[in-house]
Amino acid sequence: MMHDQETVLLQGHIIDSLILAKVLDTILMMGGTFDLEDVQIGKTREEPSRARIIVRASSPKLLSEILHAIQPHGASVESERDCRLSPAPADGIFPDEFYATTHLPTQVRIRDQWVEVARIEMDLGILVDPVAQTARTIPMGEVAQGDLIVTSREGVRVIPLQRPRERDVFSFMESQVSSERPHGHIIGDVARRLMQLRAGFREGKADSKVLLAGGPAIVHAGGREALAWLIEEEFIHVLFCGNALPAHDMELDLYGTSLGYRHAAGRVVPHGHEHHLRTINRIRAIGSIEAAVKSGVVKTGIMAACVRRSVHVVMAGTIRDDGPLPGVITDSVEAQAAMRAAIPGIGMALLVASTLHAVATGNLLPATIPSVCVDVNPAVPTKLADRGSFQAVGLVMDAASFLRDLARELGARL
């Protein structure tokens, strides 16, 4: 990613003299890139022309070399101001005119220096420490009175996404969602990415964790085995879910049913609707899912694999939950914070069969993280795309088929 950038102005008779062409050629020849932000061509020969050029480079050193080379040809760095800061008037309240973030990489200018905003996420504010020259996003609810928050758009710049180097489905970043698109090559690309990420994860490389946010339909539709396999094989490192996914996953282990359906027989069993309640009650009695797995009560499935592979699980509850299971966070602000805390280090996200968790996770993800949203309901990937998570590839398909195809692509014999 070319994160280092500076805006330069070029003016005068820059078109016929080929000065503009020379400056742009110089930027490219030196290994930088540019965006012509605004070009005003003089209407007469006497009238000057003007161009605003964003120069980008892969390092501050290269950027400064490029600026040094184009400056003698008249490209002057646009004078830029520091971002404006106002103290939060009270705990939990942003100052008026606070800057609301996008999920794109963002920088703020602090004492004449562009500083990367840490943990970028959409719809938050930016907290600045002017002394340390650091900036990070902060949710409205977490702001403390007196915190210095960025206000207005001055001294803030948003860096558009660069096309990834990999030539796969994610490099097109299209938000089009259709049930009529073939899925095979998309799943193939996802599998390739998972394979690379797992290799990176095993070597301890940064940003190589894979997040899966999923709903209980994974279990109901028959994707449990495939997901458990993906977890056991270390392809998934973080799991976001609610109360239902683990409840039905463990119900299947303890009773052979999910929501009362016996999977082997394919029909409802007498009093099967009680099984998930009995499951939850049993786990509550044991004290935790981890203890239930470690004591051998729960032997198979998604949660058992998570415990065995030390997958970081965040369970966020809702108002319709039974129980809930121990470990489910019932305070939604707390749950959001727990999910947010698990985002750093994620290199890819799979959002499978859950409107609530897919959208909530999509909101937390920086635009730079590729994600795949899988749902039988086209509204879900579409909703994510509408919310600006345009790095999300949408797949309209059944969760179980997706997980099975993905696992097979990665070598599972299911």
Partner 1 sequence: MSRLLVCPPDYFAIEYEINPWMRRSNAVNSDEAVRQWHHLIQVLEEDVGAVLERMKPVPGLPDLVFTANAGIVVGGRAVPSRFRYLERQREEAYFEDWFRSQGYEVVTLEPGFFFEGAGDLLGFSDIWFGGYQQRSEIRVFPILSDWFHREIIPLELVDNRFYHLDTCLCPLSGGELLYFPPAFDRYAQEALAERIDPARRLVVPEAEALKFACNAVCVGKHVVLPAGCPDTESLLISRGYLPHPVPLDEFMKSGGSAKCLTLALD
Residues in contact with partner 1 by the rule CB under 8 A: 11-13, 16-19, 21-22, 45-46, 48, 72-74, 76
Find the shortest distance in angstroms from Cβ 41 to partner 1. 13
Q: Could you check whether the bond before residue 72 is cis, i.e. omega within 30 degrees of 0? A: no
How are beta strands 209-214 and 346-352 bridged, if at all? parallel
For partner 1, the closer of residues 19 and 325 by Cβ is 19
Token reading at 152: 């207005």
Give how far the C-alpha of residue 305 lies from the chain's centroid of Cα atoms, to the nearest Å. 24
Please give the backbone phi and psi of residue 244, each rounded to the nearest 5 degrees, phi first. Answer: -75, -40
User: How many angstroms separate the Cα of 195 from the Cα of each of 170, 202, 352?
Assistant: 15, 11, 19
Find the shortest distance in angstroms from Cβ 29 to partner 1. 12
For partner 1, the closer of residues 15 and 54 by Cβ is 15
Find the shortest distance in angstroms from Cβ 72 to partner 1. 6
Could you say which DSSP state residue 93 is in?
B
Give percent helix, percent strand, percent coil of the chain, each to the nearest 5: 35, 25, 40
For partner 1, the closer of residues 18 and 341 by Cβ is 18
Find the shortest distance in angstroms from Cβ 13 to partner 1. 5
For partner 1, the closer of residues 45 and 271 by Cβ is 45
For partner 1, the closer of residues 72 and 184 by Cβ is 72
Whole-angstrom Cα distance, residue 230 to residue 232? 6
For partner 1, the closer of residues 21 and 277 by Cβ is 21
Q: Is 280 exposed, middle or buried (0-12, 13-18, 19+ CB in 10 A)?
A: buried
Place of tokens 């309640």: 277
Find the shortest distance in angstroms from Cβ 70 to partner 1. 11
For partner 1, the closer of residues 11 and 196 by Cβ is 11
> How open is the CA angle 45-46-51, to the nearest 5 degrees?
80
Are 212 and 226 in contact, with CB atoms under 8 Å apart? no
Are 101 and 126 in contact, with CB atoms under 8 Å apart? yes
Find the shortest distance in angstroms from Cβ 81 to partner 1. 22
Q: Which of 66, 63, 78, 71 is nearest to 112 (CA)?
A: 78
Find the shortest distance in angstroms from Cβ 14 to partner 1. 8
